[in-house]
């Protein structure tokens, strides 16, 4: 019997998609089960469910993000059900699809100078992206806006590289515009791809009318989703509200941390993906062997994304996820068959060694996720189980400072439009939104919530505790901090 040789570079695009999907699902498997990994995901789930039941975003339910992520989650819930596990599975498949689009983009970038059917670099790009989007840090494991807008940016890149028809450029702009309505930082993805396209046309010495027409179509497509959302709020009489949350909030969101905070943020972010950074640097040093197209795109895209990551000064770890696309593109070029690395690193490209390291890395990550997400007691499910045996129709609860997923798990409504507790209790968010904490708490308490859940955060405790002492008593404690109170 003939011995089969596993040559991943010879895989068809369909097989590559299947492989990336399998790797993503396996690596993320044990993260599918907990109720909460990060509170942002809980907010998306709750607001999406509210939209499905006729609530209006920015009026009945409020957050600081554009409407896109909530509409996307509402679509998932409508098509695939309300299970949190389903959302996590969709996220894993979504990441695989994004990795696949980067694989296709890499193939297009090298097709003029290499045989893409025998070159391992494109599939390496896809695998690298899936690996770093599924490994260890909770900031990349929990579904967030950065996970979802990436697919729209990567798909737009493929369309720009692959097609010349004006209709495809309009579609590429539309995809980037949809991504923009998930998170406004996609503007910098669009800027990077647009500038790169201009550079390619100049190098090809295309007629200026040819490329300017396509740039205009890109821009028109990009603006369409925003204009549709603006018109939606305008006909509801909420144009000023939409403008406030779109422009005023974005402007006020900026802070100025000390320079050391930027340094620490970058150091931690780069350390989490250190092997990929090393491969990225290798590709940058040896760019002449690859041609300028791919490195130039990766450099300019990385620079623009890094700028918008750092500019607001918030420095949340999940912001760095946007960098994963350009990093993966150039890091994958280490496996390009057009050049041979030196002996010091050539062993990585040995299939036996490389595949062994890959499998071991996946297994280690799976074991870590089991220990981190699957094995611990799910405190949120524990509280929800307690509440569900006691709640009566019409009862409401209030989670003072989280976990807000309890509204979803108990089928109750949040007594305030501000689903994410940090909008009320975080000083920066509170200042930007102009929320009167005491007035908002009074509105909540006037609704006489049956149960109040606290996490012993000193800010809400200072305001809420005097109100609760007369009318509530402690009925449950779980973990080190979570306390449930019931109305007398």
The residues, ordered by sequence, that sit 6+ positions from 40 with a Cβ below 8 Å of its Cβ are 142, 144, 145, 318, 420
Beta 482-487 vs 472-478: how paired, if at all? antiparallel
Helical ranges in 7-144 per DSSP H: 13-28, 39-52, 68-80, 84-110, 121-132, 138-141
Helix H segments across 246-291?
249-252, 259-272, 274-285
- Residue 450: helix, strand or coil by DSSP? coil
Q: Give the pTM.
A: 0.94
* pLDDT string in tens for the chain (488-residue length): 233 344 666 688 999 999 999 999 999 999 999 999 989 999 999 999 999 999 999 999 999 999 999 999 999 999 999 999 999 999 999 999 999 999 999 999 998 877 777 788 999 999 999 999 998 677 889 999 999 999 999 999 999 999 989 999 999 999 999 999 999 999 999 999 999 999 999 888 778 888 899 999 999 999 999 999 999 999 999 999 999 999 988 888 788 899 999 999 999 999 999 999 999 999 999 888 888 999 999 999 999 999 999 999 989 999 999 999 999 999 999 998 887 777 777 777 788 888 888 899 999 999 999 999 999 999 999 999 999 999 999 999 999 987 899 999 999 999 999 999 989 988 888 888 989 999 999 999 999 999 999 987 777 878 888 888 889 999 999 887 889 999 99
Cα 198 from Cα 218, distance rounded (Å): 12
Confidence (pLDDT) at 8: 66
Residue 472: left (phi > 0), alpha (psi -120 to 50), or beta? beta
Domain range list for the chain:
8-372, 379-487
Distance CA 413, CA 419 (A): 10
| Distance in angstroms (rounded) separating the CA atoms of residues 136 and 467 | 41
**Distance between CA atoms of 142 and 403, rounded to whole angstroms?**
15
Give dist(CA 241, CA 262) in Å, integer.
33
d(CA 400, CA 452): 7
- What's the residue count for the chain? 488
Other Cβ atoms less than 10 A from the Cβ of 362: the count is 16
pLDDT at residue 276, as a whole number: 95
| Cis peptide bond prior to 403, omega within 30° of 0 | yes
* Closest residue by Cα to residue 23 from 124, 109, 154, 104: 124
Q: Whose CA is closest to 8, among 178, 91, 124, 137?
A: 124
Residue 455 to residues 427, 459, 480: CA-CA distances in angstroms? 17, 11, 9
**How far apart (Å, rounded) are the C-alpha atoms in residues 322 and 315?**
13
The answer to whether the beta carbons of residues 384 and 406 sit under 8 Å apart is yes
Q: Of 377, 375, 404, 318, nearest to 140 (Cα)?
A: 318
Q: Which two tokens stand for residue 485?
A: 């109170």
Which helix H or strand E contains 482, and what residues bound it? Answer: strand 482-487
Block residue for tokens 């108990």: 410
């Amino acid at each position: 019997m003939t011995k089969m040789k596993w040559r991943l570079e010879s895989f068809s695009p369909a097989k590559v998609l299947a492989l990336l999907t399998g790797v993503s699902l396996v690596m993320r498997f044990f993260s599918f089960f907990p109720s909460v990994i990060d509170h942002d995901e809980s907010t998306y789930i709750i607001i999406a469910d509210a939209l499905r039941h006729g609530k209006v975003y920015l009026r009945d339910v409020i957050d600081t993000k554009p409407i896109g992520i909530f509409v996307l989650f509402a679509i998932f819930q409508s098509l695939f059900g309300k299970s949190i596990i389903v959302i996590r599975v969709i996220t894993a498949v979504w990441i695989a699809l994004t990795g696949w689009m980067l694989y296709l983009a890499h193939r297009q970038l090298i097709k003029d100078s290499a045989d893409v059917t025998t070159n391992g670099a494109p599939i390496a790009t896809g695998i690298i992206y899936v690996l770093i989007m599924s490994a260890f840090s909770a900031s990349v494991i929990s579904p967030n806006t950065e996970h979802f807008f990436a697919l729209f940016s990567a798909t737009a890149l493929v369309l720009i590289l692959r097609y010349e028809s004006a209709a495809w450029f309009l579609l590429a702009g539309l995809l980037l515009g949809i991504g923009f309505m998930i998170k406004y930082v996609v503007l910098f993805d669009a800027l990077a791809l647009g500038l790169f396209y201009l550079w390619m046309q100049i190098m090809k010495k295309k007629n200026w009318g040819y490329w300017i027409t396509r740039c205009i179509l890109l821009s028109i497509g990009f603006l369409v989703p925003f204009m549709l959302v603006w018109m939606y709020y305008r006909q509801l009489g909420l144009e000023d509200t939409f403008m406030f949350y779109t422009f005023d909030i974005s402007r006020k969101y900026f802070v100025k941390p000390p320079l050391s905070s930027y340094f620490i943020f970058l150091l931690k972010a780069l350390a989490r993906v250190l092997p990929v950074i090393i491969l990225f640097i290798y590709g940058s040093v040896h760019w002449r062997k690859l041609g300028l197209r791919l490195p130039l795109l990766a450099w300019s895209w990385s620079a623009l994304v890094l700028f918008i990551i750092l500019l607001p000064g918030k420095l949340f770890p999940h912001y760095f996820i946007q960098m994963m696309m350009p990093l993966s593109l150039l890091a994958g070029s280490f496996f390009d068959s057009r050049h041979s690395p030196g002996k010091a690193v050539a062993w990585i490209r040995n299939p036996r060694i490389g595949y062994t390291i890959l499998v071991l890395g996946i297994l280690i990550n799976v074991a870590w996720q089991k220990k981190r997400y699957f094995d611990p007691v799910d405190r949120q499910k524990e509280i929800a189980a307690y509440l569900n045996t006691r709640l009566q129709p019409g009862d409401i609860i209030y989670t003072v400072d989280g976990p807000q997923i309890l509204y979803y798990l108990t089928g109750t409504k949040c007594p305030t439009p501000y689903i994410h507790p940090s909008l009320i209790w975080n000083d920066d968010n509170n200042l930007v939104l102009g929320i009167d904490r005491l007035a908002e708490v009074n509105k909540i308490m006037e609704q006489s919530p049956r149960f109040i859940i606290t996490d012993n955060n000193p800010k809400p405790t200072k305001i809420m505790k005097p109100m609760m002492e007369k009318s509530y008593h402690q009925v449950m404690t779980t973990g080190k901090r979570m306390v449930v109170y019931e109305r007398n």
